[in-house]
Amino acid sequence: MPKDPHVHRNDPHYKQAKQKGFRARSAYKLLDIQKRFNIFKRAFYILDLGSAPGSWLQISRKIAEENLEKYKDQYYHRDHFKILGVDLKNISPIDDVKTVKMDFNTPEFQNEIEIFFKSNKLDIILSDASINKSGNKFSDQIRQNQLCYSILEIARKNLRYKGILVLKTFQGQDFNKLMKQMKYEFQIVKSYKPKASKKGSNEIYIIGLKKK
């Protein structure tokens, strides 16, 4: 059944996103995760998977720019930032952010990562990517988990030591298995449902802190 656009327009997070200039209400999910886990601490090299329409890229750019001034010390820092976003859909341009329209599960995209970041490891990988839901919660959860495993493989190849991964999955039968796999890769693993997630949604985010 199609979503009622009237209900969507009256959603408080949708209204707030429009007022603040964010491209989607999902911006508040990322801001909530940032407030809870401080995921962007010393984040300069950032990859966003499933970026369209670009609200997470907007936030990433803002915070990365702030980090250039905030972390001028003897610890890990950079004098520039690099942000790459990818989606199968078009993403309208954002200043100082590179976007590509392609499947991030292809060898060609891995080449894109290596060229853009000049083979440097990344500080954080974000993914709000989701499958096209069929309406069958059981099969959708399995398919979303399969997507998460492919994202985890991208993180294995590209995240730096102590880097951070944020990905979206759905609660269900295989959720604990995915959490267990994340714990092999990260020192700290948390699950979190942001306040901006709709009440009836079974989406949940997994945050991997400090890649091993």
Residues annotated as part of the active site: 168
Q: Is 78 helix (H, G, I), strand (E, B) or coil?
A: coil
Q: Are strands 186-192 and 159-170 parallel, antiparallel or unpaired?
A: unpaired
How far is Cα 40 from Cα 126, in angstroms, rounded to an integer?
Answer: 10
- Cis peptide leading into residue 53 (ω within 30°): yes
Is the CB of residue 126 less than 8 Å from the CB of residue 21? no
Helices (H), 40-174: 55-70, 107-116, 137-158
What are 167's strand-pairing partners?
127, 206
How far is Cα 23 from Cα 21, in angstroms, rounded to an integer?
Answer: 6
Helices (runs of H) and strands (runs of E) counted in the chain:
7, 7
